[in-house]
Amino acid sequence: MESITSIREELTGKTEMSPENENDLLIRLEEIERDGKVVDPLPKSDWIGIAITFFVLGLLPLLYYAIKLF
């Protein structure tokens, strides 16, 4: 409750939104601040997958064709 009061004090009348949407916004912001997020970020295993995909399908074809030509 302290958080929503603090958000209300800081943002009321400063969002350029209608009072209805602004109230909705403040409730959502309170929930996000409480949890620190809406959904969890990617796990580490996915980041490894991204790095491998980036290298194998992004950079490697470029390197392969470069080596083949030069």
Partner 1 sequence: MRKHEMNINSEVQFDLLPIMKNDREYGFRDYSFVITGFAVATWCFLIGGTLALFVDFKLAIIASISGNMIAIILLSMSTSLPSAKYGIDGFTSSISYLGHNGTKSYLVLNAVVTVGWTIVLCTLVSRSVIQILNYITGKDFSSNLYVVIFGLIVALFCWFVTLRGPHLIKIMSTIVVPVFLVVIVILIFLISRSVGWGEIAQMSALEPFDDPWLNFLIAFELSLGAGFSWWPNIGGLARICKTSRAAFWPNILGLVFAATVGTALGAAAALLIGDSDPASWMIPICGGALGILSLILVSIANISANSIMIYTTSLGLKQVRALFRQRWFIVTAVYMVPTLIGLFWSNLIYDHFYFILGLACLIYCPISMMAVVDFFLLRNQKWDMRQFYNKTPESKFYFWKGFNPVAVFVFITATPVYYFFLDPITLECTPAFRYATATGAVAVYCAIIYYILSKAVCFRMSKGGYDQ
Residues that bind partner 1 (CB under 8 A): 7, 10-11, 14-18, 21, 24-25, 28-29, 31-33, 36-43, 46, 50, 53-54, 57-59, 61-62, 65-66, 69-70
Please report the sign of the dihedral spanned by the C-alpha atoms of residue 6, residue 12, residue 16, residue 17. Answer: positive
Of 3, 8, 2, 5, nearest to 32 by C-alpha is: 3
In one-letter notation, the amino acid at residue 47 is W
Shortest distance, CB of residue 4 to partner 1, whole angstroms? Answer: 12
Q: For partner 1, which is the closer residue by CB, 10 or 48?
A: 10
**Shortest CB 22 distance to partner 1, Å:** 9
